[in-house]
Every structure is written in structure tokens, then in C-alpha cells.
Amino acid sequence: MQKASVLLFLAWVCFLFYAGIALFTSGFLLTRLELTNHSSCQEPPGPGSLPWGSQGKPGACWMASRFSRVVLVLIDALRFDFAQPQHSHVPGEPPVSLPFLGKLSSLQRILEIQPHHARLYRSQVDPPTTTMQRLKALTTGSLPTFIDAGSNFASHAIVEDNLIKQLTSAGRRVVFMGDDTWKDLFPGAFSKAFFFPSFNVRDLDTVDNGILEHLYPTMDSGEWDVLIAHFLGVDHCGHKHGPHHPEMAKKLSQMDQVIQGLVERLENDTLLVVAGDHGMTTNGDHGGDSELEVSAALFLYSPTALFPSTPPEVSRFLHTYSAATRDLQAKELHQLQNLFSKASADYQWLLQSPRGAEATLPTVIAELQQFLRGARAMCIESWARFSLVRMAGGTALLAASCFICLLASQWAISPGFPFRPLLIPVAWGLVGAIAYAGLLGTIELKLDLVLLGAVAAVSSFLPFLWKAWAGWGSKRPLATLFPIPGPVLLLLLFRLAVFFSDSFVVAEARATPFLLGSFILLLVVQLHWEGQLLPPKLLTMPRLGTSATTNPPRHNGAYALRLGIGLLLCTRLAGLFHRCPEETPVCQSSPWLSPLASMVGGRAKNLWYGACVAALVALLAAVRLWLRRYGNLKSPEPPMLFVRWGLPLMALGTAAYWALASGADEAPPRLRVLVSGASMVLPRAVAGLAASGLALLLWKPVTVLVKAGAGAPRTRTVLTPFSGPPTSQADLDYVVPQIYRHMQEEFRGRLERAKSQGPLTVAAYQLGSVYSAAMVTALTLLAFPLLLLHAERISLVFLLLFLQSFLLLHLLAAGIPITTPGPFTVPWQAVSAWALMATQTFYSTGHQPVFPAIHWHAAFVGFPEGHGSRTWLPALLVGANTFASHLLFAVGCPLLLLWPFLCESQGLRKRQQPPGNEADSRVRPEEEEEPLMEMRLRDGPHHFYAALLQLGLKYLFILGIQILACALAASILRRHLMVWKVFAPKFIFEAVGFVVSSVGLLLGIALVMRVDGAVSSWFRQLFLAQQR
């Protein structure tokens, strides 16, 4: 019952945080209201008659049709400078030749030969620069919103008025070929369509070759009015290789040949539009609002002159914006209307008096540009209205959740802490949710799941706070609610304060190692100040018939210093793997984050591949040596058999996959099918082996070696205050330490084995590390699939991660006293350093809290051909890649509690002789007693579960105040210039990271409790066997 109470209470606290995050998000990340109104030719876009009068002309609507046909070539991620000539340079600097310059030579040739027939523009697009949002903006004329970026995995049909809808309503035959995103945005809208899967960024040719197979035959057939071709090769090349790779030159040259072929086939009444939906960064990514991402190329060409007279389209835009801004603020709308009226009057006068056009035209253009800028600015402001009530409610709920974590963590170690009342808040939450849902059903209002969760959270934690104040808080001073040490609190406050500065958020990748190093130095100084530069002290409580003993020193004072230096060195080495944010152009990202397939030199690629495989082997060998040192590897249980044979197979499969992935482009044509098949099978096999190993670990988590044989007669008996086998957990907890010491004596060889006849004796090898062995095995099994989702050279970071965690655990264990039978506790500095290391590993694996830095290639590990219509699986793979460090450190969080007991094995304690046995002591020298290690936790199971609860609450508190700080920063700075570029992405990444970490924490604590339950069952069976 205690185990279930702990897990349910932690799950309830996680739910409180989830409810606060959801409530804040619903008020902060707003979506724009999509109107279903559609314009028609019978409704003019503005008041009065149109000045160019097209009524009565065949095929005319608001204006006369200039072209009968349109060919739209959409080259994904066609940055504007991709259309520039070869030698483009800044005045005063030498010319620079880049692989992507000068490859679209046909554009420059047409502009020079036919200047009145062609135009090349720099298109400034609106962020977020993801493909689906840009397609919606291009076809609807609306502005994309920030929250739409999350829909890039799954596109939904457009319900707003759009060009495709208007063309089909006018009877135009629209033919499409290319990116299958259009299929979801415009279902059934095309007269003929050729869709190709678009999400496989490693495939540079399938979509483009499929388009070329149908492009020219479709043009020659004449069965079309609008032809749309969406090429993806340039975008995929940027994601895979970057814009500076020779492959980019090949793809742009291919696009240049496509444009030449289209120009040769164009008729006089056809318009060719070549456009990019967005640009790309220097790394080939997109999604943000940097200058390179929002700069796209737009090229227009027709065999006839493009602009023979003043363009009437500008006035149409004016009328459209005037009709669309009726819901804006009255004062600003009135100013826009006055500006619009003046610009319209000047335009009308310009049309009636063409003689003065040269003098009046610049004034009209300036007025039109001013109006368009003002209308755009007010639309953005109108679509960014926040729900302050929901934001404040979510922030308050997050703050209350943090307070509950702090309060309950102190409450858990109080004497006589009851576990049963922990389930009361869960019951109150369910009652509140049911009552709220029933009330809405009675008054027939729509049920809002976000508000339902918030009501359930509030109705659950209010009774908890009341009971805590009545039963505990009123009896203690308020200062005890804030037990965080002063230096640790100061470092935490400094870290939280940086979330309110966009510069510090951008530089968090460099600030985090500095804070972690400060924590390490703080720990070393604290240990020196307290005189604890030793492995953990054993403060044994006196028992009946014995006196308290203390471990003798086992190391000199340089022990913790060496650990600290090793930690600082690992932190520095991990900092070499970094990715620079786009806001720091002077920074150079580590070249080691890119996959081996992007390397050109064969020898360097082979050397790096050898280093990656060596890191993989070192990681495997370290885990096996650790398990062998504590004796768990000798266990015949299925998990250890899997470690001995399954882990090498996983390492072999990972190395083989890396070899295929790094050389897939260089494989002979006859072997590419085999390579593609192996690239699909190997990652799935590694993931399947990892899942099998985890299943075996959950099935048989007790990894000990048990031997039975005829030995000496029993010299000790198990004393029990009851008769027969144990019938309760309390009875079992009473006899377990005695049985364990009995087995230790057998293992140490202290029983005489001279007599050949004797009862059956039992020896168990290294029960003292049974919890840690299960945790280390589970973390290793999780690490291999997560490692596959990263680039090959990230294996070096994973090796540093395990080494860094090992050193930090030993350093933390050096300052944690062990008291038996309890209470057990993990200090705040240990939990803070552990959470900070998770953040540092997030940056060391090449991640940044921005959407352009997401590693999309992870979605195709094991699925080189894509996922079809499934969207949850690629999202899961990309999420596992992004938040791998959060998951690993959260699952391994219980090691902070277990490791000090494990470090007890570094020395042996002298066992005192019983009183009155001096003669025997003179004959037999003083013996050394095998340390109990993690079995000491079973001396006080109540304190053990309370310590797990406290550890989980402390970790949730550290993570919770981070998400609270991000929410406060986003709320206070919601009108800041960098809110959508820095603060909003940071909040989203912290929120998702908190969800992943909380789930991982629950899984880690559940695994410890599963091992504890299995150990109890194992002892119960052993006791019954001895009773026979």
C-alpha cells in the first residue's frame, strides 16, 4: 500500500503541473480565428465601382485576366541568394565563390535578355518558416501563427478562402505534383494530382524525379489551366548536407534545367512563377525568423511583357485590407481609413491624368506601402491577444504545485509520516472533475478539457493544503518550509533569473556548464569545510547488545578533489559538442555534430567511425565491468544473461547501422536495395532487443547468484517474535536483515565446512547492489536506442555522460551520511546538480530550444522510406531524440538515493566480538564484516519509501520552478520583441521537457519499487524453504 501511495501521490503532483502548463498555454499560445467566408465576383472588394471596369468581359471577375494559364514552380527553401550570380561580394571585400551561387544561371540570362518580361524579387516571408505554414500563407494571404508550427507533422484542411478554392470555383483545371502536404491542405481540390511522400529529408531525388516524370507530358497535353509543381530536393539537401555542400550545387543545377525546359515550352498567354516558400540557415534548417530563413526568391516570367501599365493589383489589396480590418481598434482603424481614402483619391487622379504620373507615382507608392505596413502590423497585434486570466491561473497553479512539492518533501521525513492520507487529494480531484463536468452538462455548455483539468487540480490541492496546515504546518515555523541551503538557493535563483533575459536564454548553452562547474566546486568546498572529504560515513544506530560503530577512513583528503577535477574535465569536454544559436553569428558550431555521411574525405570518415565504435565498445565494457565488480553479472537470471549476450548484439547492430548510414550514398547501385533494407532492419532490431531486455528486467529484477549445498550445521538461528512463516510486511522486514547476514557469513566462508554431513545452507552473491544493478541495466538498455537516433559522433557525448554521472554520484555520495535504520534523505545540492547535468547534456547533444534546431532526421531511423500517413511515430522518434537527456537523467534519479549505500562496499567494517567470548576472540582474529550496502534500506522500509517520495518531490520542484520561471518570463515579456523567437520556444521546450522528465521519474521510482517487491518475494520464498 505504501508503494502505491507514493506513486499515486507523485503522479498527482505531476498532474498539477500538467494542468498549470495546459492552462497557461491555452492563454499564451493563441491560434488565429479562421473565417469560412468566401469572396465572389458579385461582391466587390471595396466600396464603389472598380476603376478598371472589367464587367462584361468573358472570364473576368473583379479585373480583366492578364494570362490564361499559370505555371507555379515552388522550390522548397529557395533562399534569395541562391538566385544570385556566382561572384557575389560586398564592396571592398574579395569575391567569394560558394557552391549555391550562380547555379540558377537561366534566371540571370532571362533578366538580361528580356528585362520587360521577367522580374526577380526578394520575398520577405512571415515566421514561423515551416512548410505547412508557408503554404497556408501563400494560398490564403493570411499571416501564420506561432502555434501552427506544431502542426507541421499533421496538416489539416484549409477552411479559409484561398486561391485553390477560387480557381476551382471559377472552373479552372488545377493540376498538382509534388509534396503530399498539399493533399491534406486541399483534399479533392485538384483535377489531377501526383503526390509524393515529403517527410524523408534524407531522400533528395524521389519527389523531384517523380515531378519530372509528369511535368513536361502534362504541359504538352494542354489539359490544365494552373500547373503547380512543388520540388523538395533543395530543402532536403539543406537538411541533410547544408547549403555549402556540393550536393546543393547539383540540386540547384537540376532546378535550373527545369526552369529552362519550362521557358522553352511556355506560350504567350502563360505566366511562369518560380518561388521559394522560405529560406534556410547556414546549417540548412528553417522554422525561425532569422534573415536567411525569411528571405526567399520570387521570379516571374512571361513571353509577353509583364507590366505594360500601372498595376491595378495594389488597389485590390487596399480594398481587401480595408474590408478585413473592421475588428481592429477604432482609433487605429480610422487612421488607416483616412490613409486609404487619400491613397485611393491619388490613385484615381493618377489614372485620369496620366501626364503627371512621373511626379505623382512616388507619392502614391509611398502611401500604399505605409498603408500596407500599418494594416499588417495591426493584424499581427490583433491575432496576438492573450488571455490574461488563463495565463495568471496557469502561473498560479504552477506556483502552488512548486509549493506543494516543497512542503511535502519536508513532510515526508517527519516522524510518523502517514502514507494513506496521500490518496485523499487524488480522490478530491476526481470528485471536483466529476462535479464540474456535471454542472456544465446541466447548463448545456461546451466542456473545455483544459478548464476541467484546472478545476480538478484546484479541488485536489486545496484540501491537501488545509490538512497540511492543520496537521503539520501550524506546529512548525515557516522557515522550515524553505530548507534549501543558502549557496544552493543562490545558484538556483541566478539560474531562474536568466530566463527573463533573451541574451542569457540564447547563451544558456555556455552558462549551464559554468553553473554546473560552480556546483561542483561548491560541493568540494562544502565537503572540505565539514571535514567530509571521505566516502560516506556510516552512522549506525545502536542496537540491542551492540554499540554504535563508525567506518574508519578509507581514502585520503584528495578523494573528492580528484572527483571534482574529473567532473570539471568531463564538463569541459562535453562543451566541445555545441551548436551555436542563430542569434550569435560569430559563434562556430561544432563540426562533430553532423553525421558522418556529410563528410567528404574518406580517410577522415573512417577515423571518426573507428572513434565512434570505440566509444560504443567502451560504454559497453564499462557497464559490464561495473556489474562484474559488484557480482551481479554472475547471476544466472535472464536480465544478466541478456547483458552478457544481448548488449554485444545491440552494440554490433548499432555499429553496423552507422557503417551503412555513413556510406549509403557511396554504395554501388546493385547493393542499394540491400543497404536500404539493412538500414531499416538494424535499428528496429536494436530497439526490439532493448525492449526485450527491459521486459526481462521487469520480469526478473533480482540479479543475484544463489548457491545451495550441504555445509556446516547452522550456528545461528533467525529470531522472530512470531511463529510460522511471516504473514505481513512488518514480519518480513524483521527477518530480512538476519537472513541477509546469514547468507553473508556463508559467502565470506565463516562457517566451518569440515563436516560432510549437515543441513542445506544458502549463499547469495551481492544482494547489496541489487537495486543499482537494475537501474544501471535499465539505463543502458534505454541509451542504445536513443543513441541510434543521434548522429554517430554523439556516441562520444554519451560516453562522457555516463562517466560524468558516475563521477558526480561518487562526489555526492562522499557528502551524504548514511543513518540506519533511517531517515534517509538526498540533499538539495545533489538534486540540483543532477537536474543541471540533464540540461547540459541537452546542449551537448547538439540541441537548442528553438524549432530550427530540431533533429528531423531522427524520424527516419529505421524508416528510410517514411511513415506513410502515420504522424505519431515520427513525432515520437524526434521527441525521443530531442529529450533523450531529460529521459535518461529522470529515470536514473533514484541512483542519488542508492549510490551512497553502494559506496559502502569500498571498505569492510570490523565486526566486534560478542561480550563474554574473550577466549574465542584470542584464538580467532578480529573478522571483517561484509557491508550491507543497499540492504540497509530494508532495515527501515518506511523510511525507504519516504526517501523515494522526497527525492521525487525535490526533483519535480527543481524542474517545476524552471517551467514557472519560463511562464513568468513569457507573461511579463509577452510584448517583447523576442517573445516569439526566444521566450515562447523556451517555454514550449521546458514544458515538453518537464512532461518527459516527470514520466521518466515515475518510471525510475516504479522500477525501484518493482525490484523491492521482487526482493521481498525472494526472501519470503527463502524463509519458507529454511523453515522446511
Q: What is the pLDDT of residues 611-634, one digit of tens each?
A: 999 999 999 999 999 998 888 888
SS3 content of the chain, % helix, strand, coil (to 5): 60, 5, 30
Residue 506 has what pLDDT?
86
Highest mean pLDDT out of 415-419, 490-494, 695-699: 695-699
pLDDT-derived band at 729, boundaries 50, 70, 90: low
Name, of 455-459, 470-474, 1023-1027, the range with top average pLDDT: 455-459
CB neighbour burial string for 486-502, b if at least 16 within 10 angstroms, e if fewer: eebeebbeebbebbbeb
pLDDT for the residue 908: 44
In Å, what is the CA distance from 575 to each residue of 506, 510, 592, 796, 800?
A: 15, 8, 12, 12, 11
The pLDDT, as a whole number, for residue 904 is 72
Judged against a pLDDT cut of 90, whether residue 997 lies above it is answered with yes
The residue with greater pLDDT, 331 or 1015, is: 1015
Q: How far apart are CA 112 and CA 110, in angstroms?
A: 5
| Predicted pLDDT of residue 615 | 92
- Across the range 673-695, mean pLDDT stands at 91
Q: How far apart are alpha carbons 310 and 374 in whole angstroms? A: 23
Contacting residues for 785 by C-beta, under 8 A, at least 6 apart: 683, 686, 687, 690, 880
Q: Can you spell out the DSSP letters for 833-861?
A: HHHHHHHHHHHHTT--SSGGG--GGGGGT
Closest CA to 895 of 830, 954, 943: 830
pLDDT at 885 over 70: yes
Backbone angles phi, psi at 403, to 5 degrees: -65, -40
**C-alpha span between 465 and 843 (Å, rounded):** 38
* Average of per-residue pLDDT across 365-370: 77
Instruction: Pick the closest to residue 661 from 863, 872, 881, 873 (CA basis).
Output: 863
Lowest-pLDDT choice from 329-338, 486-495, 689-698, 773-782:
329-338
Residues 834, 86: Cα–Cα separation, whole Å: 51
What's the pLDDT score for residue 321?
A: 37
Q: Which residue has the higher pLDDT, 343 or 727?
A: 343
Give the tens place of pLDDT for each residue, 927-944. Answer: 444 567 788 887 778 888
Question: Which stretch of 246-260, 280-294, 939-953 has the lowest confidence by average pLDDT?
Answer: 280-294
What pLDDT, in 10s, does the model give residues 112-121? 888 888 888 8
Is the whole model's pTM more than 0.75, yes or no?
A: yes
pLDDT of residue 320: 44
CA distance 1019 to 502: 56
Strands (E), 269-404: 270-275, 295-301
Q: Please tell me the predicted confidence (pLDDT) of residue 909.
A: 44
Residue 1025 CA, distance from chain mean position: 50
Helices (H), 930-983: 941-972
Q: How far apart are CA 210 and CA 197, in angstroms?
A: 10
Q: Let me know if 658 is exposed, middle or buried by CB neighbors in 10 A (0-12, 13-18, 19+).
A: buried
Place 326 in a pLDDT band, splitting at 50, 70 and 90: very low
What distance in Å separates the CA atoms of residue 941 and residue 255, rounded to the nearest whole number? 70
Backbone φ and ψ for 647, nearest 5 degrees, come out as -60, -45
H or E stretch at 7 = helix 2-28
What phi and psi, each to the nearest 5 degrees, are found at residue 575? -70, -15
Q: In the Cβ-directed half-sphere of 602, how many Cα atoms lie within 13 Å?
A: 3
* Rounded CA separation 413/824 (Å): 8
> pLDDT digits over 76-125, tens only?
989 988 887 665 444 454 455 677 887 888 888 888 888 888 888 888 88
Per-residue pLDDT at 156 exceeds 70: no
pLDDT band at residue 951 under the 50/70/90 scheme? very high
- Candidate from 432-436, 476-480, 821-825, 920-924 with smallest mean pLDDT: 920-924
Q: Residue 508 belongs to what H/E stretch?
A: helix 508-529
Confidence class of residue 781 from pLDDT cuts 50, 70 and 90? very high
Looking at mean pLDDT, say which of 36-40, 573-577, 718-722 comes out highest. 573-577
Give the pLDDT mean for 258-271.
Answer: 89
Summarize pLDDT for 280-308 with one digit per residue, the tens. 888 788 877 778 888 899 999 988 877 64
Looking at residues 451-473, what average pLDDT do you find? Answer: 71
Whole-angstrom distance, CA of residue 944 vs CA of residue 914: 30
Per-residue model confidence (pLDDT) at position 318: 33
- CA angle at residue 902 from 775 to 996, to 5 degrees? 30
- Please tell me the predicted confidence (pLDDT) of residue 422: 67
pLDDT of residue 843: 92
Query: Locate cell 476551382: which residue?
Result: 168
The residue count for the chain: 1028
Mean pLDDT of 567-594: 82
Between CA 74 and CA 130 the distance in angstroms is 14
pLDDT at 548: 38
Mean pLDDT rounded to a whole number for the chain? 77
What is the C-alpha separation between 492 and 829, in angstroms, rounded?
A: 10
Cell output for 719:
529470531
For residue 550, the model assigns a pLDDT of 41
Other beta carbons less than 10 A from residue 375's beta carbon? 23
Residue 128: cis peptide before it, omega within 30 degrees of 0: yes
Percent of the chain with pLDDT over 70: 71
Q: Where would I find the H helices in 637-671?
A: 638-662
Given a cut of 50, is residue 797 above it in pLDDT? yes
Query: In b/e form, how buried is each residue of 663-695, taking b as 16+ CB within 10 angstroms?
Result: bbeeeeeeeeeebeebbbebbebbbebbeebbe
323 vs 241: which has the higher pLDDT: 241
Give CA–CA dist 436/221, Å, rounded. 63
pLDDT digits (tens, 9 = 90+) for 891-933: 999 999 999 888 875 544 444 444 444 444 444 444 444 567 7
Max CA pair span of the chain:
128
pLDDT at 547 over 60: no
Does residue 178 surpass a pLDDT of 60?
Answer: yes
In which band, very low, low, confident or very high, does the pLDDT at 5 lie, cut at 50, 70 and 90? Answer: confident
Least confidently predicted of 38-42, 330-334, 606-610, 686-690: 330-334
pLDDT over 90 percentage in the chain: 24
Q: Which residue has the higher pLDDT, 15 or 754?
A: 15
Distance between alpha carbon 611 and the CA centroid of its chain, in Å? Answer: 27
Judged by average pLDDT, the poorest of 1-15, 88-102, 359-373, 636-650 is 88-102
SS3 for 680-748, per residue? HHHHHHHHHHHHHHHHHHHHCCCCCEEEEEECCCCCCCCCCCCCCCCCCHHHHHHHHHHHHHHHHHHHH
pLDDT for 33 = 58
User: What is the Cα–Cα distance from 406 to 425, expressed in whole angstroms?
Assistant: 16
Tell me which range, 145-159, 341-355, 401-415, is most confidently predicted by mean pLDDT.
Answer: 401-415
Q: Are 177 and 210 in contact (CB under 8 A)?
A: yes
Give the separation between CA 280 and CA 282, rounded to whole angstroms. Answer: 7
Q: What is the pLDDT of residue 319?
A: 42
Q: How many CB atoms lie within 10 A of CB 387?
A: 15
Count other Cβ atoms within 10 Å, centred on residue 92.
Answer: 5
Q: Is the pLDDT of residue 818 over 70?
A: no
The C-alpha R_g of the chain, in whole angstroms, comes to 35
* 724: pLDDT strictly greater than 70: no
Whether the CB-CB separation of 853 and 293 falls below 8 Å is answered with: no
CA 372 to chain centre: 38
Return the pLDDT at 754: 39
Sign of CA dihedral 7, 13, 14, 16: positive
| DSSP state letter for 9 | H
**Is residue 960 a contact partner of residue 928, using CB atoms and an 8 Å limit?**
no
Least confident of 458-472, 513-527, 663-677, 951-965: 458-472
Q: Using an 8 Å Cβ cutoff, are 682 and 708 in contact? A: no
The DSSP symbol for 911 reads P
User: What is the spatial distance between Cα 90 and Cα 121, in angstroms, rounded to a whole number?
Assistant: 19
